[in-house]
Structure 1
Amino acid sequence: MNISRRQMMVAAAAVPVAGRIDAALAPAAVVRPDDEAYWAKLAGQYDVTRDIIQLENGNWGMMARPVLEHYEAAVRRVNRETSYYARRGLTPDLMAVRDRVAAKMGVASQEIAFTRNATEALKALIGGYNRLRAGDAVLYADLDYDSMQACFASLKRSRGVDVVSIALPEPATHQGLIDTYEAALKANPKIRLILLTHLSHRTGLVVPVRDIVAMARARGVDAIVDAAHSWGQLDFRPADLDADFVGFNLHKWWGAPLGVGVIYIRGSKIDLIDPDSANTPPFAANSYTRVHTGTVDFAAQLTVPAALDFQDAIGDAARAARLRHLRDLWAETLRGTPGLEILTPSDPRLHGGITSFRFAGRTSVQDNAAIAKRLLDEHRIFSVHRDGPARGACVRITPALFNSAADIRVLEKAIPKLLRRA
């Protein structure tokens, strides 16, 4: 869609002013990840429940107060003006938001479109991928998201392909992960499509996506990348992954309202993803034609610039370093404790803020649900168990920017106490 300069000016005037971080909290230089005074002031921008220590922040992220205020203003406007706004000014406003997100990602605007979440984006990519033929094969791993595993499994019914699943090494190394995917491709030469999860929601393991994508591409294999948890938690630009097909969330680590995801399709590969069946021809060569969300929470999408403003004031590197620091305070302190398994390596390339643990021999869902329950009942720490890793279930710890070193110290002392009485 071509937007005139006048339309862009109207759009800029129409969108509520983005909420920004208090100028006193924006660091003049890169802030240290262990500067508790700074991070405590930043935590004051969040309205956090004091009933528990919230260390389960992977489901979705909390909006900071200025972002929430922007969202509330956008909700009021959409509710007040309804279709008068939707049919006269909403589209250019949303295109301006899309342009802002694309610039942040380092990609062309026509290569992305908004979805309701990463699952919807990835579902469109997997279901729309049209290169598969009967007798081909597809590949996914044990740490990939359940819904995406199900989408890959469904390709057997819909496309007549073979489905190959692998277990990622535990403990993992950077080269070991690359070697695992290479071995799978060598053993299954009919593989045409692989699923890669950049940062696993199960354990927090970060996979070297760029290296694996390049290795697969050299073999004529395409990759669909699940970046639901990585962008915003790690310090990188999506363009740096050099991937052709990616699904993202903006309501996890960017702190946008619930209901905003992004689909990315490299422009030169758009023909490999079919247009959504609810769209009608002619189909433009852009990502927008590959999804059809229907009516969504427009106010949530309009709030994305406020979330980016808030996070940009902190800085991508500072945010990623803080989350990793909070993770290291417990994971690296307790690493080597007899009977305790830390499920992401020390190698900073292979983890962000999320890391899971399990007690040796306690591999069932019931075992780990019980551990998470004891953390809550006995220490007020809210966490969540995860199943799916080939070597057994685990408990996931997911810090956020509002968490303090003191929060993590409670966890660091609680785990050994539970282990001694396991």
Structure 2
Amino acid sequence: MDLSRRTILAAAGAAPAVGGMALAADARADDEAYWARVATLFDPPPPGVIQLENGYFGAMARSTRAAFERNILRVNRETSIYARDAYVADLEAVRARCAKLLQVDAEEIAFTRGGTESMVTLIGGYNRLKPGDAVLYADLDYDSMKTSMAALERVRGVRVVRIDLPEPASRQNLIDAYERALSANPDVRLMLLTHLSNRTGLVPPVKEIVALAKARGVDVLLDSGHALGQTEFTLRDLGVEFAGLGLHKWIGAPVGVGVVYIRKDRIPDIDVSILEAPGNPRIDARVHTGTVNFAAMLTVPDAIAAHEAIGLAPKARRLRYLRDRWAEAIRGHPGVEVLTPPDPALHAGITSFRLTGRTSMDDNRALRARLFERYRIFTIERAGVAKGCCIRVSPSFVNTAAQMDALTAALRDLAKA
């Protein structure tokens, strides 16, 4: 099935048709026949495996993969003839396409090799801290970001405040947790906030927490690595001035493409890379990755086109439906703890669980192995949650209800052991 640029760039208001199939903006999340047809736009996972670890990186649509292969061939054939000339203009077109996706200005984004590099650019480059200030992060933040925030004590001379987010979580107790932390630490000037936790899938009330921080003179660095392509939001609506995002998770770009966003009036607050000349006002000067994967960058518009053809809203609904299919079915079952609350505003597709009392990393590595060896269900263990390690379940929108039911049955079985 060919997902060509002509078929996916349909006229406004018209549902795109792909390979004779209409991609419906109002597709029902529980229409298994429809989503089975969507699944044919992608290469299938290995036979006999239920792939529920789609959070590492996302599969490219067949059309995106084909475009990537064409771009590899071109770059490999033309080498520096292309890279030193036509690529410059082509990259600006890619940047414009990505800015349109994010609903920001093109001069407010720069490409990185992933969400981690985007966030480290912001954390390490933020230059408004002085000795005696404090910075804040939480247990559910990503490992590399927590390490970077902690390093600010050494490199900026600041105090580091770490908090544990409530479990079970609610909209209000999450807001209260940040409010208490900021009230108790009025010297905090910079705060890390994860939009969608890679550990548990928790989505905090970002807009309210950002507003709370701003009212106290605290800048927020938003880690949106998992949120982009999985949830519906705009950075402007959230009131965010600094964010890191990834394109190879839920947008389906080739591995190795991320984006850093800095609102244009705040670009000077992030240091120019030591590899660039001082004083450069462009956001690009904040990131210096050396030679990039030209073909991966060129394929970003194709990935965005495939993503938009399927539709963010239908994808988001489908991911929540698949998550609810297992998480709400097993919630309350003796011996199983579901770590993300049922409130749909506080989760997307990712949710983690643990078996009661099995909180060590060794426990959860063994549990992950049993899920795969006995039931052929592939997941991943996660550490760093205050109340103990867990297993993360991250379905793709092309997983099936039957696969989620298989997970539920497996968990009921494992809880007896």
Q: Is this contact kept in 1: 2:25–2:311, CA < 8 A? A: no
Q: Is this contact kept in 1: 2:272–2:279, CA < 8 A? A: no
Q: 1:305 to 1:26 in 2, by over 3 A?
A: farther
Deviation at 1:410, TM superposition (A): 0.9
Deviation at 1:23, TM superposition (A): 4.6
Q: Is the aligned partner of 1:125 residue 2:145?
A: no
1:13-71 CA-partner distances (Å, limit 9, x unpaired): xxx96895725334244100001001001111221221411101111001111110000
Q: Which amino acid counterpart does residue 364 of structure 1 have in structure 2?
A: S
Q: Is this contact kept in 1: 2:351–2:393, CA < 8 A? A: yes
Indicate the RMSD between aligned Cα atoms, in angstroms. Answer: 1.4
Q: Is this contact kept in 2: 1:19–1:306, CA < 8 A? A: no
Q: 2:218 aligns with which of 218, 221, 224?
A: 221
Q: Report 1:176-325 matches (<5 A).
A: 176-284=173-281, 286-325=282-321
Partners of 1:108 and 1:54 in 2: how far apart? 36
1:182-214 CA-partner distances (Å, limit 9, x unpaired): 100000111000000000000000011111111
| Unaligned residue ranges in structure 2 (runs of 5+) | 9-16
Q: Is this contact kept in 2: 1:227–1:247, CA < 8 A? A: yes
The share of aligned pairs that are identical, in percent, is 54
Q: Is the aligned partner of 1:344 residue 2:340?
A: yes
* Count of residue correspondences: 405
Q: 1:44 aligns with which of 31, 40, 44?
A: 40
Q: 1:144 to 1:29 in 2, by over 3 A?
A: closer
Q: Is the aligned partner of 1:113 residue 2:110?
A: yes
Q: Which amino acid counterpart does residue 99 of structure 1 have in structure 2?
A: A
Give the equivalent residue in structure 1 for 2:13: none
For structure 1, which segment, 259-268 or 25-34, has the greater mean C-alpha deviation from structure 2 after superposition? Answer: 25-34
Partners of 2:257 and 2:7 in 1: how far apart? 18
Partners of 1:107 and 1:268 in 2: how far apart? 13
Compute the TM-score of the two structures, normalised by the length of structure 1.
0.94
Give the equivalent residue in structure 2 for 1:11: none
Q: Which amino acid counterpart does residue 115 of structure 2 have in structure 1?
A: A
Q: 1:375 to 1:18 in 2, by over 3 A?
A: farther
Q: 1:92 aligns with which of 89, 92, 97?
A: 89
For structure 1, which segment, 341-350 or 274-283, has the greater mean C-alpha deviation from structure 2 after superposition? Answer: 274-283
Q: Is this contact kept in 1: 2:25–2:310, CA < 8 A? A: no
Q: Is the aligned partner of 1:362 residue 2:374?
A: no
Give the equivalent residue in structure 2 for 1:7: none
Partners of 1:301 and 1:183 in 2: how far apart? 42
Partners of 1:293 and 1:345 in 2: how far apart? 39
1:281-308 CA-partner distances (Å, limit 9, x unpaired): 4512x32111111111111111111111
Partners of 1:195 and 1:78 in 2: how far apart? 38
Partners of 1:23 and 1:108 in 2: how far apart? 34
Q: Which amino acid counterpart does residue 230 of structure 2 have in structure 1?
A: Q
Q: Report 1:49-64 matches (<5 A).
A: 49-64=46-61
Partners of 2:216 and 2:314 in 1: how far apart? 37
Partners of 1:365 and 1:29 in 2: how far apart? 41
1:82-129 CA-partner distances (Å, limit 9, x unpaired): 110111100110110100111111111100010000111111101110
Q: 1:17 to 1:31 in 2, by over 3 A?
A: closer
Q: Which amino acid counterpart does residue 90 of structure 1 have in structure 2?
A: Y
Partners of 2:40 and 2:269 in 1: how far apart? 46
Partners of 2:27 and 2:103 in 1: how far apart? 24
Partners of 1:25 and 1:31 in 2: how far apart? 12
Deviation at 1:178, TM superposition (A): 0.8
Q: Is this contact kept in 1: 2:24–2:310, CA < 8 A? A: no
Partners of 2:143 and 2:279 in 1: how far apart? 34
Partners of 1:224 and 1:78 in 2: how far apart? 35
Paired residue secondary structure (1:184): helix
Deviation at 1:402, TM superposition (A): 2.3
Give the equivalent residue in structure 2 for 1:389: 385
Q: 1:19 to 1:197 in 2, by over 3 A?
A: farther
Give the equivalent residue in structure 2 for 1:328: 324
Compute the TM-score of the two structures, normalised by the length of structure 2.
0.95
Q: Is this contact kept in 1: 2:379–2:392, CA < 8 A? A: yes
Q: Which amino acid counterpart does residue 354 of structure 2 have in structure 1?
A: R
Partners of 1:237 and 1:51 in 2: how far apart? 38
Q: 2:31 aligns with which of 25, 28, 35?
A: 35
Q: Is the aligned partner of 1:159 residue 2:156?
A: yes
Give the equivalent residue in structure 2 for 1:146: 143
1:218-249 CA-partner distances (Å, limit 9, x unpaired): 11110101000001011222332211110000
Partners of 2:377 and 2:20 in 1: how far apart? 31
Q: Is this contact kept in 2: 1:26–1:313, CA < 8 A? A: no
1:129-176 CA-partner distances (Å, limit 9, x unpaired): 001111110000000000000101110111111101000000000111
Q: 1:65 aligns with which of 62, 65, 73?
A: 62
For structure 1, which segment, 23-32 or 88-97, has the greater mean C-alpha deviation from structure 2 after superposition? Answer: 23-32
Q: Which amino acid counterpart does residue 389 of structure 1 have in structure 2?
A: V
Q: Which amino acid counterpart does residue 251 of structure 1 have in structure 2?
A: H
Partners of 2:385 and 2:164 in 1: how far apart? 8
Q: Which amino acid counterpart does residue 187 of structure 1 have in structure 2?
A: A
Q: 1:377 aligns with which of 373, 383, 386?
A: 373
Give the equivalent residue in structure 2 for 1:12: none
Q: 1:17 to 1:279 in 2, by over 3 A?
A: farther
